[in-house]
Amino acid sequence: MWASIMTDSGIYQWVLLPLMIFAARVLDVSLGTVRLVFVARGYKCLAPVMGFFEVLIWITVIGQIMNNLSNPACYIGYAGGFATGNYVGMWLAERLSLGNAMIRVITQKDASELMASLTASDFGVTVLPGQGVQGQVSVLFTIVPRRRITEVIDKVKQFNPNAFYTIEEVASVRSGVFPAKKYPSFNNITRFFRPFRKGK
């Protein structure tokens, strides 16, 4: 009876249905964004699982849209959910901090102090001499878990606030020196789903 009253009054068609489409679209676009991160990081078993639920939700939403083509509120809910889902997906991907990144630092100062600081935190570091426009420079490379990028950048800024640095994606890593895990991470869960992932 209550459902019939809601339907007859238009609450379902103009409020509840668009809201459900909005929420479902946020979920499926968020899953899609995170799935792309999984694909880029090489999580070959998790990415298809995310893709399955992403498409399942999308098909359900499209079905509702096709059944309510005369309802512009559904279109607004769909578009709004897509836009919001992109933001939420990017936020989730950033929070997960999956995989590794390479940090390259170029500085005119002697890099021994920075190398010692990073080594003390168990980061593997390689330093090479280089030549810049203004003279000799030191080029430092280190590959770190993405969740610890901020920690490394803080050390770089303490060493030399004017140091030039870049951060690049790393598809896979084999061997090398990496810091010990100080706290649980998402990798502890996903490593059981990565039997084909290259590297360590």
> What pLDDT, in 10s, does the model give residues 4-53?
545 555 788 888 999 999 999 999 999 999 999 888 877 888 899 999 99
Write down the pTM of the prediction.
0.66
Cα–Cα distance between 50 and 92 in angstroms, integer? 14
Contact between residue 145 and residue 100 where contact means Cβ atoms under 8 Å apart: yes
Question: What is the rounded CA–CA span in Å between residue 10 and residue 16?
Answer: 9
Asked whether residue 138 carries a pLDDT value surpassing 80, the answer given is yes
In three-state form (DSSP H/G/I as H, E/B as E, the rest C), the secondary structure along 27-64 is HHHHHHHHHHHHHHHCCCCHHHHHHHHHHHHHHHHHHH
What pLDDT was estimated at residue 8? 55
Provide mean pLDDT across the span 137-142.
92
Give 89 or 68, the one with higher predicted confidence. Answer: 89
Per-residue pLDDT, averaged over 125-146, amounts to: 89
Q: Is the pLDDT of residue 153 over 90?
A: yes
Average pLDDT over all residues of the chain = 82
The residues, any chain, with a CB within 8 Å of residue 105's CB and separated by 6 or more, are 111, 114, 139, 140, 141, 142, 156, 163, 164, 165
Of the pLDDT bands very low, low, confident and very high (cuts 50, 70, 90), residue 188 is very low
Q: What distances in angstroms separate CA 81 from CA 38, 62, 88, one per listed residue?
A: 22, 13, 10
CATH architecture designation of domain 100-173? 2-Layer Sandwich (3.30)
Mean pLDDT within 144-153: 90
| Residues 174-186: tens digit of each pLDDT | 655 556 555 444 4
